[in-house]
Chain A
Amino acid sequence: MAEEKRKWKIKDLGTFLVNMLWAALRGELLIKLNIGKYFPQIIYTFVLFALIILFSLGVDATMVKVENNKEILHDLEVLHTQKSYELQQLNRRTRISSLLEELGSELAPPAKPAEHR
């Protein structure tokens, strides 16, 4: 004789909830739900959460390095500009003449153009 399919009634839901509550109070809830077989997945999920947090912190730390490096690059750019300015100042023809004169050099602007051979 085929078993009749059991019909769920609202009373069964109440019984279920009461059983869950007693299991929770007794500390047997997870055992009742047979969570044990999903233990690796649960651990894996927590590992993922930890990794996301670690990566996020790592990204922030790298971004801070990026901003610090930008600051360093800016400093170097400004230094380069200032040094270029100082170098160009020395490139002025009349300044070179006056520097040579101060140093007592006999070198003077050319008296005639260079010979081309």
Chain B
Amino acid sequence: METTNTPKPKKKRDRVATGVHLVYILLLLVTVLFVIRLVGIQLNYTPGPKLARVITQTSVEKVLEPKRGAILSDNGSPLAISVPVYTIHMDCTVRKETYARMTDKERGAELEAAWLEKARRLSEGLSKELGDRSAAQYYELIRSGRENRRQYELICKDVDHQTYKNLLKLPLFNEPSHRGGMISDSRIIRLHPYGELALRTLGYVRPGQSRSHVGLEGKFDYAIHGKEGSEWMREVDNKALVRDYTKPFIPATDGYDIRTTLNIDIQDIADAALREQILGDTMVEGGCAVVMDVKTGAIKAMVNLLRDPKTDRLGETLNMAIGRVGEPGSIFKTVTLMTVIEDGYIKSLDDKIPTNHGRIYTFEPDRHILDYEREHHTNQIPIIEGFKVSSNYMFQYLADKYYGKDPKRFLDKLYTYKLGEAFDFDLSGLATPHISSPNAPGWGQTSLCSVAFGYSTEETPLHMLTFYNGIANKGRLMKPYLVESIEDHGRIIEKKGPAVLNGKICSTATADTLVRALKSVTEEGTAKRLKGASCTVAGKTGTSRVLMPGIGYKDSEGRFKNQGTFVGFFPAEDPQYSIIAVVYSKPSHQSFYGGTYPAAAVRRIVDQMYNSGMIDKKI
């Protein structure tokens, strides 16, 4: 078969197909260049700092602040809680330069006027919300701040969260700060719903100050504070921030709550009662009162009122109940009486001692003894009579007779009553008592006698109350405490509760004898104000001169400071609460006694507690 070389007919080129083919070639070239550029960037390109900042997704570390734990009363009512407050400043100059530099001056002026109009509406909102200035005043503040280039003008200080949220809705404040000028700072403050009640006991933490940790807040800061956490935040669309899960997240641990033993009703009653007694007498420097549960040692109320020398106002500014040591005076006679009874030297309160015209050593004759001698035509006085009228001579005589040759035996007893040591307490600052020692310089023949009636020894009100509480508790000395438990949203983390300082400071019989003696004081003795109270009170008054450091008992003008005390427990037949009230005077020529303000305050407290059903009536 023959083959012929006939040429193939030429294909007619379609124009559309040619055009599409050209576009395809172009796109292919662009793609090839694109791929080459991509490879080049991966291998060989470092972006400039501005571009790197824009294209790099950064995470920002945010510190998570823990929520500070609350301090609660015995029934869970909050006594101290944390809330945020906000201080707002304003940069009045925002956008001013931008508008001024615009090439279109008319447009710049329009924008400036619009900004000022917003400032006017902002001022109306501020006046309505804050209420401390008129709208015109706020506008003038902002306008003059803008004119005078003030960039940190104070608008308001320490406003609450709700007010802050309302301010954020106002014109200018609802814009970013570089447009609206709002600068806000927040801090957490502690609020006390019950005002000044137990404020010093609750305390505070103020870092940077010399006494930065005070009261329960200070002592238990380790539990209440909590632990900071941290999280990383990354930016997403619309400049919103969300948590970056690729980075570590440490949640904040909120602080624990402290449940105290304080009963807010008893605290209120005690505060009002003490205030009522001492507010009107400007010669009174201040006073304190403590109410304690007999069986457990739980402190139900602790009041400390000190007069401000400038304003004369009584405030909780110093914890005198634990921090002020002083010569206790006659309330210490019960200590002497307990010792002589417990050691068997006194069998009964009806035992008698010679009156000796009230003289012993170089002490001034005791006028109570002289009065008794005169009234009863006798030279013997029963112990109970001397105790009722708070005779110094009686206790000087007893101490000297039974312990004069070996005073250490008597003084050692004081240490068993925990009157010589600052035990571990739920507040910092419990002062250390001081008991004279035969080995100390200045100890003389009369020193033991001084100790016996409450001088030459220094005690805090809390120490004396603890001792009397031991009598009420049949000789069982309970440690006073303020913190019942540490909790986390109601779940108990650590239970504190009652503790015993000394299981038996005296026998039950001795305790009963002392109760009888103390009842006689309130029924017929120096604390007669308490006779007829809603329930029977047993206790002792005391009045002592306060030693002024570097001056002595009297200053150059003959003025002196007094400390009047009443300490006891109620109901006397079956004690449920023990109580102490102490009042301190300023230097003056006037005397006041434990049987006046302190006893009157205690009477009021007892009556109100009883009438309010706080005392179990089944006796």
Interface residues of A (CB under 8 A from B): 24-25, 27, 57, 60, 63-64, 66-67, 75, 78-79, 81-82, 84-85, 88-89, 91-94, 109-114, 116
Query: Which residues in B have their C-beta under 8 angstroms from that of A111?
Result: 611
The 8 Å CB contact of B193, one of A27, A89, A94, A110, is A89
The 8 Å CB contact of A114, one of B165, B236, B242, B613, is B613
Listed by A's residue number, 25 A-B pairs whose Cβ atoms lie within 8 Å are A24-B28, A27-B21, A60-B236, A64-B238, A75-B165, A81-B83, A84-B81, A85-B78, A88-B194, A89-B194, A91-B193, A92-B193, A92-B197, A92-B268, A93-B265, A93-B269, A94-B271, A94-B272, A109-B611, A110-B611, A111-B611, A112-B534, A113-B617, A114-B613, A116-B617
The 8 Å CB contact of B25, one of A25, A57, A78, A88, is A25
Does B195 lie at the interface of the complex (its beta carbon under 8 Å from any beta carbon of A)? yes
Is B81 in contact with A85, judged by CB distance below 8 angstroms?
yes
Query: Which residues in B have their C-beta under 8 angstroms from that of A66?
Result: 242
Query: Which residues in A have their C-beta under 8 angstroms from that of B24?
Result: 27
**Interface on chain A toward B: helix, strand, loop, or mixed SS?**
helix
Query: Which residues in B have their C-beta under 8 angstroms from that of A24?
Result: 28
Please measure, in the bound complex, the distance between the C-alpha atom of A111 and the C-alpha atom of B534, giving whole angstroms.
Answer: 10
Please measure, in the bound complex, the distance between the C-alpha atom of A67 and the C-alpha atom of B236, giving whole angstroms.
Answer: 12
**CB-CB nearest in chain A for B245:** A63
Is A82 in contact with B240, judged by CB distance below 8 angstroms?
no
Please measure, in the bound complex, the distance between the C-alpha atom of A67 and the C-alpha atom of B237, giving whole angstroms.
Answer: 14
Is A82 in contact with B194, judged by CB distance below 8 angstroms?
no
Please measure, in the bound complex, the distance between the C-alpha atom of A89 and the C-alpha atom of B82, giving whole angstroms.
Answer: 15
Please measure, in the bound complex, the distance between the C-alpha atom of A111 and the C-alpha atom of B24, giving whole angstroms.
Answer: 104
**CB-CB nearest in chain B for A92:** B194
Does B250 lie at the interface of the complex (its beta carbon under 8 Å from any beta carbon of A)? no
Name B18-45 residues within 8 Å CB distance of A.
21, 24-25, 28
Having A63-B243, A84-B81, A93-B265, one finds 5 other A-B pairs with CB under 8 Å, namely A24-B28, A79-B162, A88-B77, A89-B194, A113-B615
Does B612 lie at the interface of the complex (its beta carbon under 8 Å from any beta carbon of A)? yes
Is B613 in contact with A113, judged by CB distance below 8 angstroms?
yes
Instruction: Count chain B residues whose beta carbon lies closer than 8 angstroms to a beta carbon of A.
Output: 40
Does B102 lie at the interface of the complex (its beta carbon under 8 Å from any beta carbon of A)? no
Is B242 in contact with A91, judged by CB distance below 8 angstroms?
no
A23 → B minimal CB distance (Å): 12
Does B84 lie at the interface of the complex (its beta carbon under 8 Å from any beta carbon of A)? yes
Query: Which residues in A have their C-beta under 8 angstroms from that of B195?
Result: 89, 92
Does B202 lie at the interface of the complex (its beta carbon under 8 Å from any beta carbon of A)? no
- Provided the pairs A75-B165, A92-B197, A113-B612 are in contact, do residues A60 and B237 lie with their beta carbons within 8 angstroms? yes
Query: Which residues in B have their C-beta under 8 angstroms from that of A81?
Result: 81-83
A66 → B minimal CB distance (Å): 7
Please measure, in the bound complex, the distance between the C-alpha atom of A75 and the C-alpha atom of B611, giving whole angstroms.
Answer: 43
Does B264 lie at the interface of the complex (its beta carbon under 8 Å from any beta carbon of A)? yes
The 8 Å CB contact of B77, one of A91, A112, A116, is A91
Does B610 lie at the interface of the complex (its beta carbon under 8 Å from any beta carbon of A)? yes
Query: Which residues in A have their C-beta under 8 angstroms from that of B281?
Result: none
Query: Which residues in B have their C-beta under 8 angstroms from that of A92?
Result: 193-195, 197, 264, 268
Query: Which residues in B have their C-beta under 8 angstroms from that of A78?
Result: 83-84, 161
Please measure, in the bound complex, the distance between the C-alpha atom of A85 and the C-alpha atom of B534, giving whole angstroms.
Answer: 34
Is A67 in contact with B269, judged by CB distance below 8 angstroms?
no
A62 → B minimal CB distance (Å): 9
Query: Which residues in B have their C-beta under 8 angstroms from that of A89?
Result: 193-195
Query: Which residues in B have their C-beta under 8 angstroms from that of A64?
Result: 236, 238, 240, 242
Query: Which residues in A have their C-beta under 8 angstroms from that of B615?
Result: 113
Query: Which residues in A have their C-beta under 8 angstroms from that of B612?
Result: 109-110, 113
The 8 Å CB contact of B242, one of A25, A60, A79, A93, is A60
Query: Which residues in B have their C-beta under 8 angstroms from that of A27?
Result: 21, 24
